[in-house]
Structure 1
Amino acid sequence: MIKLITFDFDGTTADTMPFLEKIAIKLLTQFYKLPTEEARLKYRSTTGLPFEQQVTQLFPQHSMNTRVIELFEHQKIEEIFSLPLFPDTKEVINHLKRRGYLIAISSSTFQSTIEEYCKRKGLEVDQILGYRKGFEKGRDHFEFLQKKFNVSADEMVYIGDSLMDCKRAESNDILFIGKTGMFKKQQFNEISSSNLTIDSLSELKTLLPKLQPNGKK
């Protein structure tokens, strides 16, 4: 039985990914001289990682990495609090809480940023986990949640909007549900063992009660 539902933040809970992608593409084209479409593809191929890890993975030991990371994080914090939740986020999360599910957010965004954002938007969950060096989305967060809430991997589900989210969930034996947006259903299904996707969070209200621990309906 599913007890703990964990949501990604950017692109899943909050409608922030178009803005973040726009910043990233601008910086990648400006500092690494990439064509726009190549910059977009490189950014998307590593989405789900903290931005500093995206940059160092894409451009190992490049002299401009530190500057690019600083600019990205500065522009992100300047604008993120003005960006909206998805229209159904609060209603769906409140519905799931009333049904007895535990709710967490696990993200590669800094935890203090997510906490402040949720406070301003009036979004209440049981646990928020963000990125810091040595503690990040994936195994670190999942093990923390399992210990805190005394749940096993097969009592958890992770909902995210990136292929990296899928890989991190399933490599830790966590049932994954892909939220379409940056990636399409077909792209998730090509790598996901669950083959579960949604177009909006509202679909969770009917999908989750049907799921068995192995992800089958």
Structure 2
Amino acid sequence: MEDWVERIKAIVFDWDGTIVDTMPLKIENASRIFKKYYGVSCKNTRESYKKHSGVSRKELFNLIAKDNIGKGLSGFEFSKISAEFTLRNINSYKSSTVFNEKYRDVFTWLMKRNLMLFISSSAVKEEIVKLAILLNIKDCFLEILGSFGNFRKGKHHINYIKKNYALSTDHIMFVGDEKADMRLSGRLGIMCVGVTNGKSKSSLEMGFADYVIQDLTELRGVL
């Protein structure tokens, strides 16, 4: 395992739940939007959001709609509520503490080790970039990859990074907080580090995590 760590040249970070704690705000904003436009109870939307979280926004909103109104969204409907969702989220971030300032030192330490840092998320890139700028951490990352169309978190993002930065599979480490992240990275043959953030350590290990840490400040111990 130690030899594998020494080959790492790039670290790909999940966004929500790993670098920033925005998920509660997003769930609340989505619940208000589905109540506003479709009369869905906030409780039901929250449950659907948590159930399907981790996929692209378009897929997520369609799954929430199917759970609660019995059908998916039209292209027009999705565009309308997605734009409102982004606006609500950005406004929420401005009035909430979503970032652990200790992580700033971690990113600085990683960059001093000449590691390439990326963000890979199922969220919309525009929203991630705006929050990264607000938090003054955008320049820590070579690229911020959001999901749209068929360009999604997982295989598509990893293949893009490998191709554009001349990296092989064993040069890349993925850091995320969900079992789905661990399983996906494991299937791609990438070293994966699970961040518990209060979750069960064993659940991440069973999801193929090579290492499990409590938060990003412990990443130094892995590298």
TM-score range, shorter chain: 0.7 to 0.9
Q: Structure 1 residues 47, 97: CA separation in 2 closer, same or farther (over 3 Å shift)?
A: same
Q: Find the aligned partners of 2:173 and 2:82 in 1 and give their Cα distance.
A: 31
Deviation at 1:141, TM superposition (A): 0.8
Instruction: Provide the aligned length of Structure 1 versus Structure 2.
Output: 206
- Find 1:49's aligned residue among 55, 60, 65: 55
Q: Deviations over 1:81-133 (max 9, x none)?
A: 44432222211011111112111111122222222322232212122111222
Q: Structure 1 residues 39, 143: CA separation in 2 closer, same or farther (over 3 Å shift)?
A: same
Equivalent position of 1:174 in the other structure = 190
Q: Find the aligned partners of 1:157 and 1:51 in 2 and give their Cα distance.
A: 25
1:72 aligns with 2:88: no
TM alignment of 1:125-144, pairs within 5 A: 125-144=141-160
Q: Deviations over 1:65-86 (max 9, x none)?
A: 6365454333123323444322
Equivalent position of 2:171 in the other structure = 155
Q: Which amino acid aligns with 1:96?
A: L
Q: Find the aligned partners of 1:195 and 1:40 in 2 and give their Cα distance.
A: 31
Q: Bigger shift: 55-64 or 4-13?
A: 55-64
Q: Which amino acid aligns with 2:213?
A: I
SS in 2 for 1:189: helix
Q: Which amino acid aligns with 1:206?
A: G
Q: Is the 8 A contact 1:4 1:102 kept in 2?
A: yes
Equivalent position of 1:120 in the other structure = 134
Q: Find the aligned partners of 1:128 and 1:141 in 2 and give their Cα distance.
A: 10
Q: Is the 8 A contact 2:63 2:72 kept in 1?
A: no
Deviation at 1:159, TM superposition (A): 0.9
Q: Structure 1 residues 116, 14: CA separation in 2 closer, same or farther (over 3 Å shift)?
A: same
TM-score, normalization by structure 1: 0.80
Q: Which amino acid aligns with 2:19?
A: T
Q: Structure 1: where are the runs of 5+ without partners?
A: 210-217
Q: Structure 1 residues 47, 35: CA separation in 2 closer, same or farther (over 3 Å shift)?
A: same
Q: Find the aligned partners of 2:170 and 2:65 in 1 and give their Cα distance.
A: 37
Q: Which amino acid aligns with 2:214?
A: D
How large is the RMSD of aligned CA atoms in angstroms? 2.6
Q: Which amino acid aligns with 1:17?
A: M
SS in 2 for 1:108: coil
Equivalent position of 1:205 in the other structure = 220
Deviation at 1:58, TM superposition (A): 4.2
Q: Find the aligned partners of 1:187 and 1:28 in 2 and give their Cα distance.
A: 31
Q: Find the aligned partners of 2:178 and 2:31 in 1 and give their Cα distance.
A: 17
Q: Find the aligned partners of 1:137 and 1:10 in 2 and give their Cα distance.
A: 12
1:108 aligns with 2:108: no
Equivalent position of 1:18 in the other structure = 24
Percent of matched pairs sharing the same residue:
23
Q: Find the aligned partners of 1:93 and 1:142 in 2 and give their Cα distance.
A: 20
Q: Structure 2: where are the runs of 5+ without partners?
A: 1-6
Q: Structure 1 residues 33, 119: CA separation in 2 closer, same or farther (over 3 Å shift)?
A: closer
1:96 aligns with 2:110: yes
Deviation at 1:47, TM superposition (A): 1.7
SS in 2 for 1:176: strand
Q: Find the aligned partners of 2:185 and 2:73 in 1 and give their Cα distance.
A: 33
